[in-house]
Structure 1
């Protein structure tokens, strides 16, 4: 599977990523998938063209589909920031992969935002990447400014 023609950004991200000033969800997904961590400051050291390229990588759950994200990131970080990303061990079964239960964080965020939480059926029908996004936006107890727009964009709120 090749690169997407353009960065994969949700509508709610276009404004909040400020033209890739902030790390978009597609890059966060691939960082988490490969067990890599970079800081916002490190991301911002990369030239815009490199950030755009990283945002064009596919968001498939199968690492074998596109194994070059990590190599590209390492090369870019060495070249432009003179650092390497930090490694961590990804969870075996993150909450977004579980389709028979809505994660507690998503239920909490919906409550904080005064939204009806997605049903288990709605959660199971979501594409894996969209489940990842909602789980990622829900990992902290305080409200996330992108949660409500994401819920609306994914057809889970009005």
Structure 2
């Protein structure tokens, strides 16, 4: 089962960069993970963040808890919660800037569902501009057929100057899949099939019951 896109193939073996699937989950659970902290994690730990699901409310909560413990065990620091605070401010949710409650996190979770990549009827301006620059004809019909994850990828790549070079291969990859299989909504499935990966225990309350080799810093 693949958890990455073809345009990421040059670094996926070492996972030296944070894959888009993980970045999507980070935005979903409201955590800002530094690349420095990512590099301090073992390859097995990075792989677990790539594979663990983060879609339902329970999965988002568990992924967030697991990530916080994992990063702290490897780096001695907790990942920043700034993304949640910023989203609270933007969404108008009242809450302390220093303490983010579970209630406010739930509000952010609901807010994240209405982000641009969840919108099918409008192609963001940044994506339109980049598609024009790369001479790619992206139609609204094609945009609608992309999954939220694919739309997230295109939005992120269209706004990150140092990653603009990946916009064209990413868009072409998505369009190729649509052309090949127009009847399906192509998406990298972030869900874990327990029969495929039985060693990962998703019951993470209050702490992840994951293999010690992953949670513990050697």
- Same fold judged by TM-score > 0.5? yes
1:39 and 1:143 map into 2 onto residues whose CA distance is 17
Note if 1:123 corresponds to 2:117. Answer: no
1:143 and 1:75 map into 2 onto residues whose CA distance is 29
Question: What SS does the corresponding residue of 2:141 show, helix, strand or coil?
Answer: helix
The corresponding residue for 1:94 is 115
Give the root-mean-square deviation of aligned CA atoms.
2.3
Cα gap change, 1:65/1:73 in structure 2, threshold over 3 Å: closer, same or farther?
closer
Equivalences for residues 1-150 of structure 1 within 5 A: 8-17=3-12, 19-58=14-53, 60=55, 62-87=56-81, 88-89=83-84, 90=87, 92=111, 93-116=114-137, 118-140=138-160, 144-150=164-170
Q: Is the 8 A contact 1:59 1:129 kept in 2?
A: no
Q: Is the 8 A contact 1:34 1:63 kept in 2?
A: no
Question: What SS does the corresponding residue of 1:96 show, helix, strand or coil?
Answer: helix
2:126 and 2:162 map into 1 onto residues whose CA distance is 10
Relative contact order: is structure 1 or structure 2 higher (C-alpha 8 Å, sep ≥ 6)?
Answer: 2
Which deviations, in whole Å up to 9, do the C-alpha atoms of 1:18-39 show, x marking residues without a partner? 5211000111001000110011
Cα gap change, 1:70/1:7 in structure 2, threshold over 3 Å: closer, same or farther?
farther
Structure label with greater radius of gyration: 2
Structure 2: gaps spanning 5 or more residues? 92-110, 180-218
Question: What SS does the corresponding residue of 1:68 show, helix, strand or coil?
Answer: helix
Q: Is the 8 A contact 2:18 2:38 kept in 1?
A: yes
**Aligned pairs, how many?**
151
Question: What SS does the corresponding residue of 1:145 show, helix, strand or coil?
Answer: helix
4+ long deviations beyond 6 Å? none
Report the TM-score, using the length of structure 1 for normalisation: 0.84
1:140 deviates by 3.3
Structure 1: gaps spanning 5 or more residues? 1-5
The corresponding residue for 1:3 is none
Question: What SS does the corresponding residue of 1:12 show, helix, strand or coil?
Answer: helix
1:119 deviates by 1.1
